[in-house]
Structure 1
Amino acid sequence: SNEGRGFVLRRIIRRAARHGNKLGANQPFFYKLTAALVELMGDAFPQLVSSRKQVEKVLLQEEEQFAKTLDKGLRLLEQDIAELKGSEIPGETIFTLYDTYGFPVDLTNDIARERGLTLDYEGYEKAMDRQRARARAASKFGMDYNAAGLNIEGSTEFTGYEHIDGHETIRTVIVDGNEKNAQAGDEAVVVLERTPFYAESGGQVGDTGLLTWSGGRFKVTDTQKEGSNHLHIGTVIEGELFPGLEVDARIDHARRERTKKNHSATHLMHAALRKVLGEHVTQKGSLVDPDKLRFDFSHFEPVTPEQLREIEHQVNEQILDNTPVQTEITDMEQAQAKGAMALFGEKYGDTVRVLSMGSEDYSVELCGGTHVARTGDIGLFRITSESGISSGVRRIEAVTGFGALEWVEETEQTLREAAKLVKGSRESLVEKVQQTLDRNRQLEKDINALQAKLASSAGTDLAGSAVEVGGLKVVASEMEGADRKALMETADQLKNKLGKGVVVLASVEDGKVTLVAGVTKSDTGRIKAGDLMKHLAEQVGGKGGGRPDMAQGGGSDPSRLADALAEVPAWVEKNIA
């Protein structure tokens, strides 16, 4: 992980890897210590024995990843040390090493201490503060209500497990951070004594809906938590809001139902991931909203298409079994005895809510979110993407219910359109696409062969137009319809034919100029292709450069190309050594 105890472990591993590197260990070595640890500690910690292969894989991956960044980071540090005027490494350098290359500050400090240098900790902290400020500015919410320190007394009773509406009493109204009445048009935060609105928690988004009363409406656009209170965030549409006012609270029921399907599917998918990939899989983050579910989990490599199909199959199998979703309020000890998974980093009270779903308790987790009554209510589950988001963390996105049905229909439509393009059917689509790709590859080979012939022929024709300048044969010409590759091949052909010379070739397509310049290798001491290209590209409103023997460029003003080419012999004569 990049935080907490996982980050501490990563720092230890990376420090070990660096010292091993200093001692001459140019290949990964740290992961090999697993065998010795299992032998010494396996009896006391049986999970070391059962997880040995997994531990070795993760450690090896971490070493290999760090090896890629170590060299780059060390080069940057060495460069900064070489340019250092005093004895203190700047804070910006320390921050860049940490932010870009994963160097913990203590690793940079180790290197500095070996050189008799110190670190600019103050400058480093300022750089970190700037990054935190950028992160806060990019945050989803305009106001962090927890950080705002509202300190609202009391607690809100949540009735949303059983009800979607209720007749409730307002306890507090907050406008611009202050407790006061809200008028029409005001953005406000409303706290009720009781509420059916679910507050964002555990990855599930907060409910939206309406608070209504005689002569007034408040549109709830989000529900958040502050301590034990639910904050109904939104805008007064009409009327006035004040403490003591009784209102009818009603959530957006259709939105809640879609969210419930996605949340329950997340639990089933978490269980399927552990069964298919291994028990090392743990939740690293999730988002459950009405449109999709997103689940981040610990895993050291991409999930294969075969594994994704098996995960999807297992979840849909549980959905088709249509078993009841069971909830139980108990204490943590009994919940763990039941096999409930607790999420690391989450805070749990004296009593917890255990959610069991699927055949033979396929999934058992601690969860305070809202869920379907039966697994069959989810309808259909489809995985839409799988990707890596950081070292050792993968992400799966999926859809359920009508969202999954729409995704299937869109996929079917795409298949039909693709089949139509290749004059086939859904059943013959793969075969038809393969035939098209094979034909394209053959056509590319034919084109390359023809371009080689064209280059050879053009080279012969253009060689006859060469003019002599200072013992060099100079060719500068436009080749109509030639792409950059054809220009390069023709330039090579010409250099071979000329023996000693300078070649400039150009073409124009869609108002853009493509330029290639070449100098025979034996003459690069007298004139440089890169210098010639810079001059030429400027003449046609562009840029260019390259090696002494071959350079490329382009421009956006074809009207000046003829004059630029005509001036090449004079430029060569002026600049030849």
Structure 2
Amino acid sequence: MGVERTISVLNGKKDAFDNELFYPLFAKIEELSGKKYGSYNAPQPPLKLRGGEDLNPSQPPLKKGGEEKGDLQKEGEIPPNLLLQKGEETIRAMRIIADHIKAATFILGDEKGLTPSNVGAGYVLRRLIRRAVRYGKQIGINQIFTFKIAEEVVKIYQDTYAELRKNKEFIINQLVNEEEKFLKTLEKGLVVLGRRLEAQIGVKGQPYTPHEVRLIHGPDNIQMWDDVPHIITGKWLFDFYQTLGFPPELVIEELKTKDYYFSQKDIDNLFSEFNKELKKHQELSRTASAGMFKGGLADASEATVKYHTAAHLMLAALRQVLGEHVTQKGSNITPERLRFDFSHLAKMTPEEIKKVEDLVNEQIQKNLPVVCEEIDLEEVKAKGATGVFGSKYGERVKVYTVGPSTHSTSSGQVRLGSAFSREICGGPHVERTGVLGKFKIKKEESSSAGVRRIKAILE
């Protein structure tokens, strides 16, 4: 049982959101939206058709004695969004915003350095943020706001989870960047979705919704309702996401707000087709890198191994210059150069680039030893090693340490200073940094949202 639910139970509450950990988040959302938790707008006028005739909202979607039709709803049932009473839409929206941004804050604050992306855990993070943004728009928040909720989350939890305080700037920057990016495509995406519905249903202007059809004609004329799964296909959802970054879950939710109902079977089928298209796309992407050696190395030649060690030095330097939020996001290393992707929002300044170069070259000039040790994974974090801790490692892992320097005495080797770099890595690496030559960054550019790319050489 989670902390929030536990606190609610201990205070005799039946609602997991009814506790002091969520109250400040709801207060901030109220301030931003101008609405009260549980409030509602003025009652909407009676539902009318385009011709002007009234639809009786009290009439059940199915007539008395109607039968369940295939996967359609049972007698008297209506789409979930139509069941919401006064104020429930606002309550639900605020809960989604608070819950999702709290989760996103903790994910971004973690030492893994995860950022929103189109794959894996990064995709889950992106969906959380974008869903919160969409619900923010629905309750009238017309500004960049997710970072303001995150600030409240940090205030609440920072004494217990120190990494939230430590990574606060990174959390805020990532949220602002992702929200700005999504808002640019949101309006366009809704227009495209509306056109898709209009074109497929074949009605000019605003099409009738399935709920309208049921109210007018009853269950025997519900072809449009049955056609909804064919209007939006899994392949179309995938193409829509690839083009506009509109998560498929949001498409389904948008349709529900327009009273289009999907059974769970329909949703399962849509996502099955969506995932097949995604898998196809991923397999095509992998083809380009099919010949790559483990760890992004093209081969295990002497020159490539040197660049591999230089990449370790560069990552350590980047973390010193830009901050500890920097983590490796990918690499491609050949005998001619290294290409390295890392988490960071802003373009590096010439001064920052020079600092990184100087730090790396300083370690090369020191001719530091590169030592490999095999240790238990549980000990890795205690030793301060970096790594992709979301990856699947064995119980014991290889850790390469660059430095500290050593000095021979009559009693043996004595270590001087702390390690410059310590990473989980399968190797291979050079034995000492002095063989690398001069390190030079040739280009720094954007790779994707929240990810920068460096191309560097050894002279």
- Name the residue aligned to 1:384: 442
Quickly say closer, same or farther: Cα 1:143–1:7, change in 2 above 3 A: closer
- Name the residue aligned to 1:160: none
Quickly say closer, same or farther: Cα 1:392–1:330, change in 2 above 3 A: same
Which runs of 4 or more aligned residues in structure 1 lie more than 6 Å from their structure 2 counterparts after TM superposition? 141-144
Quickly say closer, same or farther: Cα 1:348–1:17, change in 2 above 3 A: same
**Structure 2 residue identity aligned to 1:44:** T
Greater helix fraction, Structure 1 or Structure 2 = 2
- Report the Cα distance in structure 2 between the residues aligned to 1:75 and 1:347, rounded to whole angstroms: 42
- Name the residue aligned to 1:350: 395
Quickly say closer, same or farther: Cα 1:128–1:290, change in 2 above 3 A: same
What secondary structure sits across from 1:394 in the alignment? strand
- Name the residue aligned to 2:424: 366
- Report the Cα distance in structure 2 between the residues aligned to 1:10 and 1:134, rounded to whole angstroms: 19
- Report the Cα distance in structure 2 between the residues aligned to 1:114 and 1:60, rounded to whole angstroms: 26
Alignment partner of 2:194 out of 78, 82, 87:
78
Alignment partner of 1:23 out of 134, 139, 143:
139
Greater strand fraction, Structure 1 or Structure 2 = 1
- Report the Cα distance in structure 2 between the residues aligned to 1:103 and 1:326, rounded to whole angstroms: 46
Q: Deviations over 1:487-545 (max 9, x none)?
A: xxxxxxxxxxxxxxxxxxxxxxxxxxxxxxxxxxxxxxxxxxxxxxxxxxxxxxxxxxx
- Name the residue aligned to 1:36: 152
Whether 1:201 aligns to 2:294 is yes
Shift of 1:76: 0.5
Q: Does structure 1 retain, via aligned residues, the 8 Å contact 2:317–2:360?
A: yes
Shift of 1:306: 1.6
Whether 1:98 aligns to 2:143 is no
- Name the residue aligned to 1:7: 123
Alignment partner of 1:285 out of 330, 352, 355:
330
- Name the residue aligned to 1:49: 165
- Name the residue aligned to 1:133: 280
Shift of 1:59: 0.8
- Counterpart mapping for 1:449-488 below 5 A: none
What secondary structure sits across from 1:202 in the alignment? helix
- Name the residue aligned to 2:184: 68
Q: Give aligned pairs, total.
A: 299
Shift of 1:291: 1.4
- Name the residue aligned to 1:447: none
- Counterpart mapping for 1:492-507 below 5 A: none
Shift of 1:116: 2.0
Q: Does structure 1 retain, via aligned residues, the 8 Å contact 2:375–2:399?
A: yes
- Report the Cα distance in structure 2 between the residues aligned to 1:382 and 1:270, rounded to whole angstroms: 14
Report the more deviating stretch, 334-343 or 35-44: 334-343
Unaligned runs of 5+ in 2: 1-116, 202-223, 405-417
What secondary structure sits across from 1:316 in the alignment? helix
Identity %: 41
Shift of 1:53: 2.1
Shift of 1:336: 2.6
- Counterpart mapping for 1:73-472 below 5 A: 73-85=189-201, 86-87=224-225, 88=228, 89-91=231-233, 92-118=235-261, 122=269, 125-126=272-273, 129-130=276-277, 132-133=279-280, 135-137=282-284, 139-140=286-287, 200-207=293-300, 256-359=301-404, 360-400=418-458, 404=459
What secondary structure sits across from 1:205 in the alignment? coil
Shift of 1:138: 5.5
Higher RCO, Cα 8 Å, sep 6+: 2
Whether 1:59 aligns to 2:175 is yes
- Name the residue aligned to 1:472: none
Report the more deviating stretch, 135-144 or 386-395: 135-144
Q: Deviations over 1:219-248 (max 9, x none)?
A: xxxxxxxxxxxxxxxxxxxxxxxxxxxxxx
Quickly say closer, same or farther: Cα 1:74–1:142, change in 2 above 3 A: closer
Q: Does structure 2 retain, via aligned residues, the 8 Å contact 1:316–1:380?
A: yes
**Structure 2 residue identity aligned to 1:52:** K
**Structure 2 residue identity aligned to 1:352:** V
- Report the Cα distance in structure 1 between the residues aligned to 2:383 and 2:275, rounded to whole angstroms: 44
Q: Does structure 1 retain, via aligned residues, the 8 Å contact 2:238–2:277?
A: no
- Report the Cα distance in structure 2 between the residues aligned to 1:288 and 1:105, rounded to whole angstroms: 35
Quickly say closer, same or farther: Cα 1:98–1:141, change in 2 above 3 A: closer
Q: Based on CA coordinates, which of the two structures has the bigger radius of gyration?
A: 1
Q: Does structure 1 retain, via aligned residues, the 8 Å contact 2:305–2:428?
A: yes
Quickly say closer, same or farther: Cα 1:259–1:142, change in 2 above 3 A: closer
**Structure 1 residue identity aligned to 2:162:** P
Q: Does structure 2 retain, via aligned residues, the 8 Å contact 1:283–1:296?
A: yes
Q: Deviations over 1:443-483 (max 9, x none)?
A: xxxxxxxxxxxxxxxxxxxxxxxxxxxxxxxxxxxxxxxxx
Q: Does structure 2 retain, via aligned residues, the 8 Å contact 1:77–1:93?
A: no
Quickly say closer, same or farther: Cα 1:30–1:362, change in 2 above 3 A: same
**Structure 2 residue identity aligned to 1:351:** R
What secondary structure sits across from 1:84 in the alignment? helix
Quickly say closer, same or farther: Cα 1:362–1:64, change in 2 above 3 A: same
- Name the residue aligned to 2:83: none
- Report the Cα distance in structure 2 between the residues aligned to 1:264 and 1:399, rounded to whole angstroms: 12
- Report the Cα distance in structure 2 between the residues aligned to 1:36 and 1:11, rounded to whole angstroms: 21
Quickly say closer, same or farther: Cα 1:118–1:303, change in 2 above 3 A: farther
What secondary structure sits across from 2:339 in the alignment? strand
- Report the Cα distance in structure 2 between the residues aligned to 1:106 and 1:57, rounded to whole angstroms: 25
Quickly say closer, same or farther: Cα 1:140–1:48, change in 2 above 3 A: same
**Structure 1 residue identity aligned to 2:439:** F
Q: Does structure 1 retain, via aligned residues, the 8 Å contact 2:376–2:396?
A: yes
Q: Does structure 2 retain, via aligned residues, the 8 Å contact 1:204–1:369?
A: no
Q: Deviations over 1:160-186 (max 9, x none)?
A: xxxxxxxxxxxxxxxxxxxxxxxxxxx
- Report the Cα distance in structure 2 between the residues aligned to 1:358 and 1:6, rounded to whole angstroms: 33
Unaligned runs of 5+ in 1: 145-198, 208-255, 405-577
Report the more deviating stretch, 26-35 or 3-12: 3-12
- Report the Cα distance in structure 1 between the residues aligned to 2:136 and 2:340, rounded to whole angstroms: 36
- Report the Cα distance in structure 2 between the residues aligned to 1:118 and 1:304, rounded to whole angstroms: 51
**Structure 1 residue identity aligned to 2:349:** T
Shift of 1:20: 1.0
Q: Does structure 2 retain, via aligned residues, the 8 Å contact 1:321–1:358?
A: no
- Report the Cα distance in structure 1 between the residues aligned to 2:173 and 2:285, rounded to whole angstroms: 35
Quickly say closer, same or farther: Cα 1:72–1:12, change in 2 above 3 A: same
What secondary structure sits across from 2:294 in the alignment? coil
- Report the Cα distance in structure 1 between the residues aligned to 2:244 and 2:281, rounded to whole angstroms: 19
